[in-house]
Amino acid sequence: MKIIVIACGIGIATSTLISEEVNLILEEKDISAYLIQCRISELDAYAEEADLILTAMDIDAEQGQALGTPVLTAIPLLTDINREEFIEKMLKYLS
Amino acid sequence: MPIEVLMYNLSFNLPAFMFIQIILILMGVCMKLDFQKFLRASLTVGVGLMGVAFLLETILHNLSFVPDMLGSKFQMENVSLDIGNFVISAVSFSTAIGAVIIPFIFAVNVILVKLKLTNTVNTDLWNYWHYAFTGSIVWLSTGSYALGLFGAAIHLIITLKIADVTADLVQSELKMKGVTISHGFSSVFIPVFALLDRIYDKIPFFNKETEPKSLPAYWAWFSEPTLLGILIGLVLGFLCNDYSKGFMSTVETIMFVVLNMVALVVLLPRICKVIMEGLIPFSKATKQFVDRLFVGRSVNICLDSAVLVGRKNTVHIATILVPIYFLVAVFVLRLQVIPFVDLTTLIFFVAFATPIHKGNARRTLVSCLFLTVFSLFGAASLSPLITEMVYTSGLHMSTSTTVIGVTSLVAGGNYVAILLHYLLNQGVWGFVAVILVTTVVVKYTIQKEKNRAIKQDK
């Protein structure tokens, strides 16, 4: 089962919104994954076990690379702008 | 009329936090949402608020001996504990102002857009708590429910206008169109940071770019919530101990304080997560409603300021600020405020400073120093009102004679609430002053937008 880590400022507010959206999408596509919410400062700790990282914000490119796991900014899920594009990318990483 | 009686009357003799459930159910009916969905969501919000109220009551009761001990041993007066914006947000929704805040603020927003006074629509329902907080503070201090609603509306107008003017900045940071940020707390500091930025331009010290070195592992004691709770709990436990009762009793007291402090910083935010989950279906429905309402008109929708915390310096500076908060609280304020839970959310304080100062670490840090001092003083000054708000909204009044004062750094930094609370208590002149200032802000920002549009067209 895939592990998706969702990071936001405190790991409670925005990441909950994103997590709900991701759950709906995963249900639709019949993919099972385990969602973990965390704070942005804890990403290093969770990066190893994660198959995909979704963040509520853009993070620095070097930080993203240093994590070793693919990172996607999940803002399209919050704004519904470029949503389809984002979902495609996300599903690609989960397959 | 005493506030509690007023709240009970308005909420048909129910505890205050149940009032909002009725309003949410009515909203669900009016917006023609799926019955199962909105009933579930309303009750989720209600039980989340209930959870916060009851857990908080227990913890605050457990810690009620702290002010006495600090007062008698160190002559510290009016000590209040920063219980964090999660609790304050839940409590803000529990008041009679908070119960109606969602339909009220949304209606005011829509009216403003229709009148072409703003281009921003705020559908981030969780963040309505800032407006509910301002409204509740004004209501509590003036005794007028109508003035409370008025205060909330003024706060909204100011954040919407700031959102209009900063839409460009946000959109270029996020590289997308059609969004902005209208956050009751972060947004109101933008003019302050922008002004500071212009001052920094003239000082050579602030024109150097610095690369902050990464912090060693022990800084986690300041940034990780549980560790922070243990640390501060230990310090408080040692300070508030009656050492004459023997070794075991001393150890027990310390462990007890640590446990309660960690509960504040770990459990309460998670219960607030329940409340946020409950609001999600309403948020979504509101967004869809907005899409239908403003077809053909390009409005900016609001994101939470969390989306700006990604820059490298932000997390770094937020961590460095933690010990600074303690130093200021101890040496400048004689610990009138014990900074605690909100220290874990400092990234939101920093979130707007970083883009305005274009990532310059020195400028961001100094601006946040101003914010530190201001939020501590603000938290101390609003503490009596916040304490009253927390203890009367759905909690049983404490039976012990001392209660531990409570406050929040985020709420304390809300200078709109402080100004309104002061001005609207000055009778007619204060009221007129508020209207004048708001009109000036609106006119100034509309003019700024027009100028920008003209420049772009050229």
Contact of A71 with chain B, judged by CB distance below 8 Å, is answered with: no
Give start and end residues of each alpha helix (H) in B115-219. Answer: 129-142, 145-174, 190-201
Give me the count of residues in chain B.
458
Q: Taking CB atoms and an 8 Å cutoff, what residues of chain B touch A20?
A: 277, 280
Nearest residue of A to residue B345, measured between CA atoms: A10
Please give the pLDDT value at position B260.
Answer: 94
> How far does chain A reach from its first CA to its final CA, in angstroms?
11
pLDDT tens-digit series, residues B141-189? 888 888 999 999 999 999 999 999 888 888 887 778 888 888 888 888 8
CATH superfamily of A2-94: Response regulator (3.40.50.2300)
Active site residue A8: yes
Domain boundaries, given as residue ranges, for chain A: 2-94
pLDDT at B32 over 70: yes
Burial code (b: 16+ CB inside 10 Å, e: under 16) for B114-146 equals eeebbbbbbbbbbbbbbbbbbbbbbbbbbeebe
Q: Taking CB atoms and an 8 Å cutoff, what residues of chain A touch B120?
A: none
pLDDT at B7 over 60: no
Q: Determine which one of A8, A26, A52, A67 is catalytic.
A: A8
Instruction: At B214, list the tokens.
Output: 């990464």
Nearest residue of A to residue B287, measured between CA atoms: A79
Q: What ipTM did this prediction achieve?
A: 0.82
* CB contact residues (below 8 A), chain A span 8-27, against chain B: 8-10, 12-14, 16-17, 20
Distance (Å, rounded) from C-alpha A69 to C-alpha A4? 10
Judged by CB atoms closer than 8 Å, whether chains meet at B345 and A13 is answered as no
pLDDT tens-digit series, residues B231-287? 999 998 988 887 777 888 889 989 999 999 999 999 988 898 899 889 988 988 888
Instruction: At B22, list the tokens.
Output: 């009725």
Please give the pLDDT value at position B95.
Answer: 84
Q: Taking CB atoms and an 8 Å cutoff, what residues of chain A touch B309?
A: 8-9, 40, 56-57
Please give the pLDDT value at position B376.
Answer: 92
Please give the pLDDT value at position B13.
Answer: 45
Determine which helix (DSSP H) or strand (DSSP E) holds B364, and give its type and residue range: helix B361-392
Distance (Å, rounded) from C-alpha B247 to C-alpha B244? 8
Please give the pLDDT value at position B396.
Answer: 54
pTM of the model: 0.89
